[in-house]
Amino acid sequence: GQQVMQIPQYQHVQEGEDFTTYCNSSTTLSNIQWYKQRPGGHPVFLIQLVKSGEVKKQKRLTFQFGEAKKNSSLHITATQTTDVGTYFCAGFDFRNSGYALNFGKGTSLLVTP
Amino acid sequence: DTGVSQDPRHKITKRGQNVTFRCDPISEHNRLYWYRQTLGQGPEFLTYFQNEAQLEKSRLLSDRFSAERPKGSFSTLEIQRTEQGDSAMYLCASSLVPGGNSPLHFGNGTRLTVT
């Protein structure tokens, strides 16, 4: 079945540094979504990417979807302490997994002031 | 929009007992998902419903797990003969249109501890 892998597992940065997390799928995805989970909280939707090569921005966050629709990345510019949390990518592969949204293990971001 | 509601927030049970969790999705959301999350892991897909129909169930899901959504509104997840390995956070999520096109809204989860 489809698997989603994320690296790195953890990232510790100083406030103001940039951060990037990478997501790779074992199969071609129909679309990919990104979620953020704060410590003690539940996953909260950030964005969805659908088109090959798509790039979307949300303030300091930049999301990319690979040309082959098998990988994605999230880049945060000039991190702030409010960015602390775990970032998950989650992919749909309708052909192999139906409507199951499969999550990666996430990248935990710690930002120190 | 009152969000996805889950009950109880915490459940402690002894091994071998049955437990049942409830999820109330956002009203008018027709799709409902159950996930399980353990520490340091991403949410693991368990099952989902479109209205009252259970359309997909994880192949990894034990026969001890069963879920229902009798009237296409709230859903229940039952675990029979609980084992220590069932200890986890059980998350419910709902979405408005077919999941590939809209975000999942998660509830706060039910944390299960099996002693």
Question: Cβ neighbours of residue B39 under 8 Å, at least 6 residues apart?
Answer: none
Q: How far is the C-alpha of B25 from the C-alpha of A57, rounded, in Å?
A: 29
What DSSP string describes B48-77?
EEETTEEEEE-TT--TTEEEE-TTSS-EEE
Sign of CA dihedral A108, B1, B3, B4: negative
Give the pLDDT means over successive 10-residue stretches in chain A (113 positions): 90 98 94 95 96 97 97 98 97 79 95 96
**Closest residue of chain B to A38, computed from CA coordinates:** B108
Is B111 within 8 Å of chain A by CB?
no
pLDDT of residue B101: 63
pLDDT of residue B98: 57
pLDDT of residue B1: 54
Instruction: Point out the residue among B42, B56, B100 whose CB comes nearest to the CB of A103.
Output: B42
Sign of CA dihedral A21, B56, B104, B46: negative
Q: Check residue A78 and report its DSSP letter.
A: S
pLDDT tens digit sequence for B12-36: 999 999 999 999 999 989 999 999 9
How near does any CA of chain A get to the CA of B80, in Å? 24
pLDDT tens digit sequence for B55-92: 888 887 889 999 999 988 999 999 999 999 999 999 99
Residue B85 — left, alpha, or beta (φ > 0 → left; ψ -120 to 50 → alpha)?
alpha
pLDDT of residue A92: 85
How near does any CA of chain B get to the CA of A111, in Å? 18
Q: How many Cβ atoms from other residues are within 10 Å of residue B78's Cβ?
A: 13
